[in-house]
Amino acid sequence: MRIRRLFTGALMATALAGGLAGASAGTASAAEPVEVQASAQSAKAANCGGRVVGYPGKWSPAVKGRCSFAGYPGAKKGYSWKVQSGQNTTACVKVLGFNSKNKPTWYNAGCGGSGKVTVSWGNNLATPKVKAISQTPHLALVAWSG
């Protein structure tokens, strides 16, 4: 079974030919893919984001998202991030993607109070990850989605 996150945020499951052995009349056959559309609540829960704490002068450990992303050849992955308001601090953020050789690569997502970046993901199944560093002497709490 192949699962892919669509750009709309919904999930689609497609059963491949090998997964439908024994289909009977009135059911899907091996030649007919089966699609399952998740509910809006499930799609909202599919946001892989989280929070990361940026330390002053030192990159935080990588923080995993709450779900995985199944890519395909040429796939891109978008991330956005924002420092919690009222902190009077800024941060620099790096996000996980994959280079042209499908090797995990950390990409700069910018510095400041917020940012967005789209990175190469390719034909990989992995969990999005983010790390941050504070630009001030204070901790920076960064909320991110991806």
Q: Domain locations in the chain?
A: 2-44, 47-145
* Predicted local distance difference test score (pLDDT) of residue 92: 98
CA distance 144 to 133: 14
pLDDT score of 47: 72
CA-CA distance, 18 to 39, in Å (whole number)?
Answer: 26
Task: Decide which of 2.60.120, 3.40.1350, 3.30.1120, 2.40.160 is the CATH code for 47-145.
Answer: 2.60.120
C-alpha closest to that of 51 among 42, 43, 61, 38: 61
pLDDT for residue 76 = 97
pLDDT-flagged residues of the chain (< 50): 1-45
CA distances 137 to 45, 52, 113, 131, 140, Å, are 34, 16, 15, 17, 9
Q: Got the DSSP string for 102-114?
A: S-EEEEEEEEESE
- Residue 86: predicted pLDDT: 85
